[in-house]
Amino acid sequence: MVKICCIGAGYVGGPTMAVIALKCPSIEVAVVDISVPRISAWNSDQLPIYEPGLDEVVKQCRGKNLFFSTDVEKHVFEADIVFVSVNTPTKTRGLGAGKAADLTYWESAARMIADVSKSDKIVVEKSTVPVKTAEAIEKILTHNSKGINYQILSNPEFLAEGTAIKDLFNPDRVLIGGRQSPEGLKAIQALKDVYAHWVPEENIITTNLWSAELSKLAANAFLAQRISSVNAMSALCEATGADVTEVSYAVGKDTRIGPKFLNASVGFGGSCFQKDILNLVYICECNGLPEVAEYWKQVIKVNDYQKSRFVNRIVSSMFNTVANKKVAILGFAFKKDTGDTRETPAIDVCKGLLGDKAQLSIYDPQVTEDQIQRDLSMNKFDWDHPLHLQPMSPTTVKKVHTVWDAYEATKDAHAVCILTEWDEFKTLDFQRIYDQMQKPAFVFDGRNVVDGNKLRDIGFIVYAIGKPLDAWLKDMPAVA
């Protein structure tokens, strides 16, 4: 029986390995992590992440050929294939701080593999890493190899949160990069055989190591660039009376462009896009390509601009101050169908409003009060560096309330901000909400999920990203 071990039981390691276990009953899969609470949660009925369809997959395989454990060394020792799916956050200190990937967790995993291994292993980069990381990993492993043969493969993950199981069942492609030597090609084939249990052969792409590593950063940069492009257009739409939904539709009808990923929003979030583009920028700078670095940096700048533009619009519309006004925040996760808040635009929007002394009442169907308070107390990039976490600031505690119901959040509020596109927000009773709000009552739709005209008929003043402005908003132009 082939044995797989995955180091890192997070948003990628957990779902990916669960699907491998489901699709490959002949393979034994162990997912290991240094975090005891995370592993306990994977072994319980309350999985550590919310992901549609994940519970069913885990329930079918757990205890049969899928195991979650903190005994990292034992499972690495036993495995033929070791996936490394640890976090690779942005460095917050030292050389490259604010841009470069922090490979501390990766390096410590690699050193541990070198320490405990007694047989040949295929080591698979599942984490998103800077191009050329495999070379560094090879050095760490072979310097301590004790005669063991390691083959390093790059097999980046393309799943998106909220649709992880669907994406894993039916991936657009699986990418495997490896050394082009006979041993490297043999390792590529071994990993290909795993995916071939359910992925059609033509969807499994094999490349050299550096192409695979770079393709992951490139794919995320291209995806994020589309959002920043449409968001940049949304600002121009507001200035001219064009409607960004109509523009996106017309643009996306061009088969060379395509209709997906053209939804204007308050900004993209999530643990990947910003981190990976900053990493790409850093790699370009290190390779003497400042113009290329500058090009990609602009994707992040437009994203930051979009978030601050949204906050400015709220404040300027409400007579230039939100001090002591209750603002209801509907949605805190970075997208629907996940409880993940990493780099969610809601953090910057809430911090912006708190900066203007607003009182926030936040409702998200999947995000806990603790998580929200932590997110609003943290410095940029600190979320993935547990050692840097600050205690909650007393101001945040006082000004932010988390509630478990959209109607509770909007009671006596001056404004409603929709920051995540949860389906349930589309069917809220906005008449009821209007009746219990202060007047004038505002809706700021950061995800274009509600019908602005219906809301205007009720009496709301409505702002929606990239849509023609109400007369009220035109009279109170936001300063970008």
Is residue 309 annotated as involved in ligand binding? no
* Residue with Cβ nearer ligand NAD (33 or 243): 33
Do the annotations mark residue 111 as ligand-binding? no
- What are the φ and ψ backbone dihedral angles of 368, each rounded to 5 degrees? -85, 160
* Interacting partner of 265 out of ligand UDX, ligand NAD, none (Cβ under 5 to 8 A depending on kind): ligand UDX
Nearest residue relative to ligand UDX (C-beta):
270
- Report how far residue 378's alpha carbon sits from residue 401's, in angstroms, rounded to the nearest whole number: 17
Contacts of 239 (CB under 8 A, 6+ apart): none
Q: What residues form DSSP beta bridges with 27?
A: 2
Which residues form the interface with ligand NAD (CB under 6 A)? 7-13, 33-35, 38, 72, 85-88, 105, 108-109, 127-128, 157, 159, 161, 271-272
H/E stretch holding 455 reads helix 452-458
| C-alpha dihedral, 413 to 416 to 417 to 423, nearest 10° | 130
DSSP 54: H
Which phi and psi angles does 6 have, rounded to 5°?
A: -120, 120
Tell me if 274 is assigned to a ligand binding site.
Answer: yes
Q: How far is the CB of 163 from ligand UDX (least distance, A)?
A: 7
Give the separation between CA 381 and CA 342, rounded to whole angstroms: 9
Question: Of 98-106, 153-161, 206-214, 379-387, which segment contacts ligand UDX by CB under 6 A?
Answer: 153-161
The contact mask relative to ligand UDX for 221-240 (x = CB under 6 A, - = no) is --x---x-------------
Choose which of 23, 313, 335, 374 interacts with ligand UDX (CB under 6 A): 335
Contact 180, 147 (CB under 8 A): no
What, of ligand UDX, ligand NAD, none, does residue 103 touch, CB below 5 to 8 Å by kind? none
CB of 393 to ligand NAD, least distance (A): 24
CB nearer ligand NAD, residue 161 or residue 348: 161
Binding map of ligand UDX across residues 295-334, x = CB under 6 A, - = no contact: ---------------------------------------x
Given the complex with ligand NAD, which of 23 and 335 has the nearer CB atom? 335
Which of 317-332 are b and which e, b meaning 16 or more Cβ less than 10 Å from the residue's Cβ? bbeeebeebbbbbbbb
User: Could you say whether residue 6 binds ligand UDX (CB under 6 A)?
Assistant: no
- 8 Å CB contact between 462 and 430: no
What is the rounded distance in angstroms from the CA atom of residue 380 to the CA atom of residue 383?
Answer: 7
Asked whether position 88 contacts ligand UDX by CB under 6 A, the answer is no
Site size for ligand UDX (CB under 6 A):
19
User: Which ranges of 131-255 would DSSP assign to H, the alpha helix?
Assistant: 133-143, 164-169, 182-195, 209-240, 244-252
Nearest CB to ligand NAD, comparing residues 347 and 354: 347
Question: Does 344 belong to an annotated binding site?
Answer: no
137 interacts with ligand UDX by CB under 6 A: no
E strand map for 281-363: 326-330, 359-363
**Binding partner of 220, given ligand UDX, ligand NAD, none, CB within 5-8 angstroms per partner class:** ligand UDX
Q: Which long-range contacts (CB under 8 A, 24 or more apart) does 292-299 make?
A: 296/221, 296/225, 298/228, 299/221, 299/224, 299/225, 299/228
- Choose which of 272, 302, 416, 469 interacts with ligand UDX (CB under 6 A): 272
CB-based contact 86:50 (threshold 8 Å): no
Question: Is 120 assigned to a binding site?
Answer: no
Tell me the closest approach of the beta carbon of residue 431 to ligand UDX, in angstroms: 28
Residues marked as catalytic: 272
CA atoms within 13 A on the CB side of 270: 19
- Specify the stretch interacting with ligand UDX by CB under 6 A; choose among 159-167, 201-209, 399-407, 435-443: 159-167
Whether 118 and 80 have beta carbons less than 8 Å apart is answered as no
- The tokens describing 42, both together, are 């994977």
Could you say which of ligand UDX, ligand NAD, none residue 88 binds, taking C-beta under 5 to 8 angstroms by partner kind?
Answer: ligand NAD
Q: Known binder of ligand: residue 275?
A: yes
Record the tokens describing residue 192, joined without a space: 């290909």
**Residues that constitute the known binding site for NAD(+):** 8-13, 33, 38, 86-90, 127-128, 161, 272-275, 342
Can you say which residues are annotated as belonging to the binding site?
A: 8-13, 33, 38, 86-90, 127-128, 161, 272-275, 342
**Residue ranges in contact with ligand UDX by CB under 6 A:** 157-161, 220, 223, 227, 261-263, 265, 268-270, 272-273, 334-335
